[in-house]
Structure 1
Amino acid sequence: MTSPAPVAIERLLLTDFRNYARLALAPAARLVALVGNNGIGKTNVLEAISLLSAGRGLRRAALPDIARRDGPGTWAVAATLNGPLGDVQIGTGYTGGDSGRRVRIDGAEAKSSEALLEHVRVLWLVPAMDGLFTGPAGDRRRFLDRLTLSIDPAHGRRVSDFEKALSHRNRLLDTGAAPAWLDAVEQQLAGLGLAVAAARRETVSLLQNRIDVQDGLGLPFPRAALALEGEFEQAAAGLAASDQEHLLLRQLRDGRARDRAAGRSLSGPHRTDLAVMHSAKTMPAGLASTGEQKALLIGLILAHADLTAGVSGLTPILLLDEVAAHLDPGRREALFSRLVGLNCQVFMTGTDTQLFDNLPQSGEIVPLAER
């Protein structure tokens, strides 16, 4: 089996991004710890890196909100990326009035941010995700779709098309459109929904396999057991693909009156939930202690990084915001050791260099100063 090609940022440049008028970094290691006081802009650097891949970044922020206060209203992130084909220049940015962010690869304008997935996959774990297991199903669904996107670049477009078709159906229901119009959009919706659901199932299956393999390494992060839950998922279990599509189509048609009254579609993959169990305790992750939930999430992210590298053939760039602060020294050392084994470039943040005392000698601590 061919080893994944290592991918790393060699130079990063931020312009008018959040609190930075300009910031240039030249990471010299695979494990990079950004250290500085609270509010200094450590997470802003991670957010900038997250925008070098498809999607809306780790904060899912509105593009105008990313621009520096008192700046020109524009922002840019550029990087020299070293990968299997040598160095490539990638960048993204926003100019006031644009409908979206622009992406350039080696100086050429790309059609969308999905083009970046040919060169880099960026994964992250941030404190805002600490409530993932206890929060709304929509948060877990978006999390699952992001996991899926990193191993299936077409998934983002499928989800977007599905959501647009779903909105179209809701408008038709609201306006009392003729059944023939609903038949047409529901046929499209069923096909798209089946593709979205199949990609999610494949991701969960592959990820569970990596979690199980990782469990054999003896890491101090509990094994998670994953499953998909929801009305459609339960009814579709064990059915052939064609039967699943017919099932979804029937659910949509039979639910028109209910959905019209509710003002939204109540059946389908847009209602799917990712269920996570603490395997050793046979306990839903949401009922585990705060520390156990954090450890489960770290283990899940590590397994997903391993999966992404294996499927894409590229080691992902991993962003871990304030992760060391929540771990005891033993788990911290185990985390650093596993990151070395994954061979990913990793950017971590912390307020104190002591949090990275167990960082391997090959790692790098980068102090960030006040701006």
Structure 2
Amino acid sequence: MSFIQSLQLSHFRSYDIAKMHGVHSGLIVLTGPNGAGKTNILEAVSLLTPGRGLRSAANEDIQNKNAPTAWAIASTIETGGAEVQIGTGIEVGGSKRLVRINGAPAKSQMALSDYLSCIWLTPQMDRLFLDSSSGRRRFFDKLIFAFDATHAGRVTRYENAMAQRSKLLREGKFDQSWLKSLEAQMAETGIAIAAARQDFAGRLQRACDMAHDNEETFFPKAALHLAGTVEEMLARMPAVEVEELFTYQLSQSRMRDAETGGAATGPHKGDLQVRYKAKDMPADQCSTGEQKALLIGIILAHARLLRAEKGAPPVLLLDEVAAHLDEKRRAALFELLCDLGGQVWMTGTDESLFSAALDQAQFWTVKQGKISKG
């Protein structure tokens, strides 16, 4: 199990210097008024993993505008019984995020995945089932990344190849050898992406189905389905044949893609469809409360799956998770989170929302750019 023992923020968002020492391995509750900087702390924790964090912010946008030096995050992480010093930030005037592990520069952000895995839930994600499919793809790919760090690389390679192909088509440069090479790369990586999503959807569905009856009372089981042309072909054809067919489709859609941009088909068009299993109802037709409960149920199932396959759950970052849950559902959630056995960071404006976790959680107060225990 990996968890954060200490966290120091320098010139990060609303903070000049802020420190947290003696952070324990279970439930962590951050309380304070709106705008105090609670979510900024969760964002900092999320940046101890590869990627752009829970806000998907550009590195330069994280900088405290009043600070003369660049932002940085330092943390002590306990993993496998050993302590690891993690540091990340940017240089003054720079935009590239740098990473240090035990004082030594890391080759890339990907090195962080060896030490910590984070999954988050934010208020903006409450519309996951209502908004466009791109948000659901990003959410699902993030879940996969916790198990397979190479998945992000596949998605990046696919998107880069598609962008280069779109540029050629838009400029009218129908160089056959160049286009064939890019389309071959799109087909190879695209099928790998779709196959990884399909495999993971099956594993996550089984984890959802294994929820105990008492959990389902408060966080209903979800039925997951991957929709999309490539995904549907993979369900009935060998991957090699799908790759050949996808390559052919790309070659045939060049004229249309030159006008519309992107590509007419591919894993970038896929969608994660979710249903409330017991009611057999699409998630986007459920009530706001049911959608929130379904999403929490998926996060809990993912954490159980990670614990079963990797030996430890991820660090969970749950921003304002208790705000729209009734008292019984909050108590059930805290109990389930404790049972997972991992570190969970939660935020809220009112400490009373976490009264059911008083005996299990470590409380921190966030106010006027300061973080204090208790």
Q: Sort the TM-score into its range (normalised by shorter chain).
A: over 0.9
Distance in 2 between residues matched to 1:310 and 1:218, nearest whole Å: 18
- Deviation for aligned residue 1:99: 4.1
The residue number in structure 1 matching 2:187 is 190
What is the one-letter code of the residue matched to 2:332?
Answer: A
Give CA deviations for 1:328-365 in whole Å, capped at 9, x if unaligned.
11110110111111101001001111011000513111
Aligned length: 366
The residue number in structure 1 matching 2:372 is none
Give CA deviations for 1:216-241 in whole Å, capped at 9, x if unaligned.
45441011111111222223321111
Alignment of 1:60 with 2:56, yes or no, is yes
Give CA deviations for 1:32-51 in whole Å, capped at 9, x if unaligned.
10010110000000000000
The residue number in structure 1 matching 2:82 is 86
1:294 aligned residue (289, 292, 299): 292
For 2:211, what is the secondary structure of its paired residue?
helix
Q: Is the 8 A contact 1:29 1:363 kept in 2?
A: no
Alignment of 1:338 with 2:336, yes or no, is yes
The residue number in structure 1 matching 2:206 is 209
Q: Is the 8 A contact 1:308 1:314 kept in 2?
A: yes
Q: Is the 8 A contact 1:121 1:314 kept in 2?
A: no
For 2:85, what is the secondary structure of its paired residue?
strand
Distance in 1 between residues matched to 2:84 and 2:299, nearest whole Å: 27
The residue number in structure 1 matching 2:108 is 112
Distance in 2 between residues matched to 1:49 and 1:304, nearest whole Å: 19
Alignment of 1:256 with 2:259, yes or no, is no
The residue number in structure 1 matching 2:17 is 22
- Deviation for aligned residue 1:108: 1.1
- Deviation for aligned residue 1:280: 1.3
For 1:214, what is the secondary structure of its paired residue?
coil
- Deviation for aligned residue 1:179: 2.1
1:171 aligned residue (152, 158, 167): 167
1:36 aligned residue (32, 37, 40): 32
Q: Is the 8 A contact 2:72 2:88 kept in 1?
A: yes
Give CA deviations for 1:207-260 in whole Å, capped at 9, x if unaligned.
111101015454410111111112222233211111121121122112112211
What is the one-letter code of the residue matched to 2:343?
Answer: Q
For 1:71, what is the secondary structure of its paired residue?
coil
- Deviation for aligned residue 1:73: 5.3
Distance in 1 between residues matched to 2:157 and 2:125, nearest whole Å: 26
Q: Is the 8 A contact 1:29 1:364 kept in 2?
A: no
Q: Is the 8 A contact 1:29 1:362 kept in 2?
A: no
Q: Is the 8 A contact 2:10 2:72 kept in 1?
A: yes
The residue number in structure 2 matching 1:148 is 144
Q: Is the 8 A contact 2:77 2:85 kept in 1?
A: yes
The residue number in structure 1 matching 2:135 is 139
- Deviation for aligned residue 1:98: 2.8
Distance in 1 between residues matched to 2:68 and 2:192, nearest whole Å: 42
Q: Is the 8 A contact 1:30 1:363 kept in 2?
A: yes
What's the TM-score once normalised by structure 1's chain length?
0.95
The residue number in structure 2 matching 1:200 is 197
Distance in 2 between residues matched to 1:55 and 1:312, nearest whole Å: 21
Q: Is 175-184 or 58-67 further displaced after alignment?
A: 175-184
Give the direction of change, closer, same or farther, for the CA distance of 1:179–1:50 in structure 2 (3 Å limit): same
Distance in 1 between residues matched to 2:244 and 2:212, nearest whole Å: 38
Distance in 2 between residues matched to 1:91 and 1:341, nearest whole Å: 30
Distance in 1 between residues matched to 2:174 and 2:92, nearest whole Å: 38
Give CA deviations for 1:177-207 in whole Å, capped at 9, x if unaligned.
2222211211111111111111111221111
Give CA deviations for 1:103-152 in whole Å, capped at 9, x if unaligned.
11111111221111111101100001011000011111111111110111
Alignment of 1:324 with 2:322, yes or no, is yes
Distance in 1 between residues matched to 2:307 and 2:17, nearest whole Å: 32
Gaps of 5+ in 2: 370-374
Distance in 1 between residues matched to 2:63 and 2:282, nearest whole Å: 40
The residue number in structure 2 matching 1:7 is 2
What is the one-letter code of the residue matched to 2:17?
Answer: R
- Following superposition, which runs of at least 4 residues in structure 1 exceed 6 angstroms of deviation? none
Distance in 1 between residues matched to 2:24 and 2:266, nearest whole Å: 47
2:367 aligned residue (355, 366, 369): 369
Q: Is the 8 A contact 1:50 1:57 kept in 2?
A: yes
For 2:131, what is the secondary structure of its paired residue?
coil
- Deviation for aligned residue 1:85: 4.4
Distance in 2 between residues matched to 1:36 and 1:218, nearest whole Å: 29
For 2:146, what is the secondary structure of its paired residue?
helix
> What value does the CA root-mean-square deviation take over the aligned residues?
1.4
The residue number in structure 2 matching 1:3 is none
Gaps of 5+ in 1: 1-5
1:267 aligned residue (265, 268, 271): 265
1:277 aligned residue (275, 278, 282): 275
What's the TM-score once normalised by structure 2's chain length?
0.95
Distance in 1 between residues matched to 2:237 and 2:110, nearest whole Å: 32
- How do 1:227-242 residues align onto structure 2 when only pairs under 5 Å count? 227-242=225-240
Alignment of 1:158 with 2:154, yes or no, is yes
Alignment of 1:69 with 2:51, yes or no, is no
